[in-house]
Amino acid sequence: MNTSGPAVQAHGLRKSYGGVAAVAGIDLEIAPGEVFALLGPNGAGKTTTVEILEGYRGRDGGEVSVLGEDPQRAGPAWRARIGIVLQLAVDSPELTVAEMVGHFAGFYPSPRRPAEMIDMVGLTDKARSRIRTLSGGQLRRLDVALGLVGGPELLFLDEPTTGFDPAARRAFWAVIRSLSGGGVTVLLTTHYLDEAAELADRVAVIRDGVIVAEGPPASLGGRTSAAAVVSWQDHDAPRQEQTDEPTRVVAELAARYGGEVPGLTVTRPSLEDVYLELIGGQS
Amino acid sequence: MTATSSAGASMVVRTTAQAPLPGVWRVGWSRGRVELKSFFRERESVVFIFAMPAVMLVLLGAIFGGQGAGHGVSIGDLYVAGLIGGGVMATSYQNLGMSVAFERERFTLKRLRGTPMPAAAYFGGKIIQVLVAAVAEVTVLIAVGLAFYHLQLPTSLAVWWTFVWVFTLGVAACSLLGIAASSLPRSAARNAVAVITLPFVVLQFISGVYVPFFLVPMWLRDIASVFPLEWMCRGVRSVFVPQAIALEPGHSWAHGQTALVLLAWVGAGLVLCLKTFRWQSPQGR
């Protein structure tokens, strides 16, 4: 096994459907153990990119290496090292949760214990229930258990928390953090900016088949150096000032008010502001 | 990175050599068990695929079974043989056509494709499921025949051998055609009944399942003879209603031709499957 190189590497990745470029030259590099989030509006090329990396789709151009192999040519031994969590409708409705997870465990050379996986996604109470009786959120958690039961080195998560209630999302985030703490590489696609900010070490924003920004969520799109907004409460009305030097503005205000500035806040563009700016108002 | 769960934290990346992948026989057997559970737990498949031929046999036999067809053959006998042929096609062609179409639409196939499960294990599981369902179907129909229609079981081993090869070739041809047909409906939920079931119902009317074959007009018999069901029914008639040879086209069971036509359909079905089978719907991007 190749432990030194990146977990995922893509250069100049391209894919068209009927002459329309869905992916128009993407470069990616994800280190082992990293949590990487791919953000972008529907139709931006997110799913196509991930499906090429998962081995579901061929590509028209570019070089791809996932866990040291070309996904287009990789076989079962490679698939045993990845885990894919798909957004699915009800699959195998008449099997129980425990039967389904146990069945999938049997595909892998060194699977995790099915009961442990069921417990990890919080479905122990439902282990003996038929899959057709599960709620939407429970189904998604079953999908996660099925993606993890093989003990993957690299996990693909496609919109993993769609349909989760807030408590289930927080529980799921804890699971992902603990996985990455254990050395599992995670490639996540999501619509939720808070999810990307919460989980990802690095984020890439994809638009019209190309990556338009990439970096840690805190500094994405030059967030740390972008103009800040200083606002405060004057005698009669709220006031604000846009500035590249917020510290200077605050110091001047402090001098003017002789101490505390009433209602003082200093804000930089939120991840959401940056994201909306990057994708040009699409959503 | 403060939150931990013991299960997750222990999921450390393996750095040692991989354990070998589970063998295709073991995974195929496991697929077969899961397929059988799903089939027999699902009300739709049990009612519309498994119980339907038996219900039709009881009904058609009750309505027409008492009549004679001449030459010492009762219509009831012909129905037993015809519905065994139809039941074999229901548990292979219709069963696989519908279930694989749904599995593709529900992304079951896509999910399986993303695991190290060998493709051969998936098809092995289907073979196990179809064989068990088809054998059970034939057993039920024979039991109904024995109970209500004075069905005579053959006593010669050679005749049973005829049944075995007709059954095996019929199941193989119809299973492959079912898997190929699963790619036809645009949406399994909306179109599968029309695209997969309707041709099967038509074939049952013209191939000697719902209507005794000697009553079917010649031009329809010619159409039926292109497809496997008519040959399967004819083979089954030769086993359970041997005296009906007087009613057969050319007064012959045409076993050689039966084997050739069924083998040709096995070949054609295999080619169609290899050309058309997809793990995902083409529109799914």
* Nearest chain A residue (CA) to B5: A178
C-alpha separations of A58 from A63, A70, A193, B5, B285 in Å:
11, 10, 29, 37, 12
Q: Please identify which residue in the block is written with the tokens 């054998």.
A: B135
Q: How far apart are CA B108 and CA A167, in angstroms?
A: 28
- The reply to whether B81 falls in a domain is yes
Q: What is the ipTM of this complex?
A: 0.85
B46 touches chain A (CB under 8 A): no
- The reply to whether B6 falls in a domain is no
Highest mean pLDDT: which of A159-168, A177-186, B9-18, B64-73? A177-186
Q: How far apart are CA A141 and CA B71, in angstroms?
A: 65
Query: Cβ contact (<8 Å) for B114 and A99?
Result: no
Q: Please give the pLDDT value at position B285.
A: 39
Q: Which two tokens stand for residue A221?
A: 């799109």
C-alpha separations of B20 from A71, A165, A269, A274, B118 in Å:
20, 39, 51, 47, 13
Q: Which letter does DSSP use for residue B215 in this model?
A: G
- The reply to whether B15 falls in a domain is no
What average pLDDT does range A101-106 have in this prediction? 96
Q: Give, in degrees to the nearest 5, the angle at Cα B116 between B110 and B122.
A: 60
Query: Cβ contact (<8 Å) for A182 and B8?
Result: yes
- The reply to whether B13 falls in a domain is no
A218-233 per-position pLDDT tens digit: 877 676 667 788 899 8
- Chain B residue numbers with beta carbons less than 8 Å from the beta carbon of A46 are none
C-alpha separations of A277 from A210, A270, A272, A273, A283 in Å:
15, 11, 8, 6, 11
Query: Cβ contact (<8 Å) for B34 and A3?
Result: no
Could you list the residue range(s) of the whole structural domain that residue B171 is in?
A: 23-276
What average pLDDT does range A205-229 have in this prediction? 82
pLDDT category at A4 given cuts 50, 70, 90 is low
pLDDT category at A281 given cuts 50, 70, 90 is low
Q: Residue ranges per domain, chain A?
A: 1-81+153-160+183-226+271-283, 230-267
CATH-assigned architecture of domain A1-81+153-160+183-226+271-283: 3-Layer(aba) Sandwich (3.40)
Q: Reply yes or no on whether the pLDDT at B17 is more than 60.
A: no
Q: Which two tokens stand for residue B253?
A: 């069971």
* Nearest chain A residue (CA) to B119: A76
What average pLDDT does range B135-140 have in this prediction? 95
Nearest to A178 among B3, B34, B113 (CB): B3
- Dihedral over alpha carbons A118, B34, B104, A80 (to 10 degrees): 60
> What share of chain A has pLDDT > 90, as a percent?
45
Q: Please give the pLDDT value at position A256.
A: 87
Q: Specify the higher pLDDT residue, A174 or B229.
A: B229
What average pLDDT does range A251-278 have in this prediction? 84
- The reply to whether B3 falls in a domain is no
B70-103 per-position pLDDT tens digit: 888 888 889 999 999 999 999 999 999 999 999 9
Q: How far apart are CA A52 and CA A35, in angstroms?
A: 18
Q: Are A24 and A210 in contact (CB under 8 A)?
A: yes
- The reply to whether B17 falls in a domain is no
- The reply to whether B223 falls in a domain is yes
Q: Please give the pLDDT value at position B7.
A: 44
Nearest to A52 by CA among A179, A200, A156: A156
Q: How many CB pairs under 8 A join A and B?
A: 140
Interacting residues of A80 by C-beta distance below 8 A, sequence separation 6+: A107, A108, A109, A150, B18, B21, B115, B116
Q: How far apart are CA B169 and CA B263, in angstroms?
A: 7
3-state DSSP assignment of residue B2 = coil
Q: Are B269 and B241 in contact (CB under 8 A)?
A: no
Q: Please identify which residue in the block is written with the tokens 């039941």.
A: B87
Q: Mean of the per-residue pLDDT values for chain A? A: 88
B18 touches chain A (CB under 8 A): yes
* Nearest chain A residue (CA) to B24: A107
Q: Give, in degrees to the nearest 5, the angle at Cα B113 between B180 and A161.
A: 120
Q: Are A280 and A207 in contact (CB under 8 A)?
A: yes
HEC-encoded secondary structure of chain A: CCCCCCCEEEEEEEEEECCEEEEEEEEEEECCCCEEEEECCCCCCHHHHHHHHHCCCCCCEEEEEECCECCCCCCHHHHCCEEEECCCCCCCCCCEHHHHHHHHHCCCCCCCCHHHHHHHCCCHHHCCCEHHHCCHHHHHHHHHHHHHCCCCCEEEEECCCCCCCHHHHHHHHHHHHHHHHCCCEEEEEECCHHHHHHHCCEEEEEECCEEEEEECHHHHHHHHHCCEEEEEECCCCEEEEEECCHHHHHHHHHHHHCCCCCCCEEECCCHHHHHHHHCCCCC
- The reply to whether B1 falls in a domain is no
Interacting residues of A73 by C-beta distance below 8 A, sequence separation 6+: none
A26-72 per-position pLDDT tens digit: 999 999 999 999 998 888 888 899 999 999 999 999 999 999 999 99
Domain count, chain B: 1
Nearest to A204 by CA among A194, A215, A195, A193: A215
Straight-line distance from the first to the last Cα atom of chain B, in angstroms, rounded to the nearest whole number = 34
Nearest to B8 among A104, A150, A178 (CB): A178
What average pLDDT does range B146-168 have in this prediction? 93
β-pair type (A228-233, A238-243):
antiparallel
Query: Cβ contact (<8 Å) for B5 and A120?
Result: yes
Cα of B127 to nearest chain A Cα, Å: 18
Q: Which two tokens stand for residue A97?
A: 């949760």
Secondary element (H or E) of residue B11: none
Say which range, A68-77, A143-152, A254-263, B91-100, has the weakest mean pLDDT: A254-263
Q: Please identify which residue in the block is written with the tokens 């919080």.
A: A122
User: Other CB atoms closer than 10 Å to residue A45's CB: what's the count?
Assistant: 24
Q: Which two tokens stand for residue A8?
A: 């995922």
3-state DSSP assignment of residue B71 = coil
C-alpha separations of B259 from A124, B168, B170, B200 in Å:
53, 11, 9, 21
- Could you tell me the strand order of the sheet in which A20-30 lies? A20-30, A8-17, A61-66
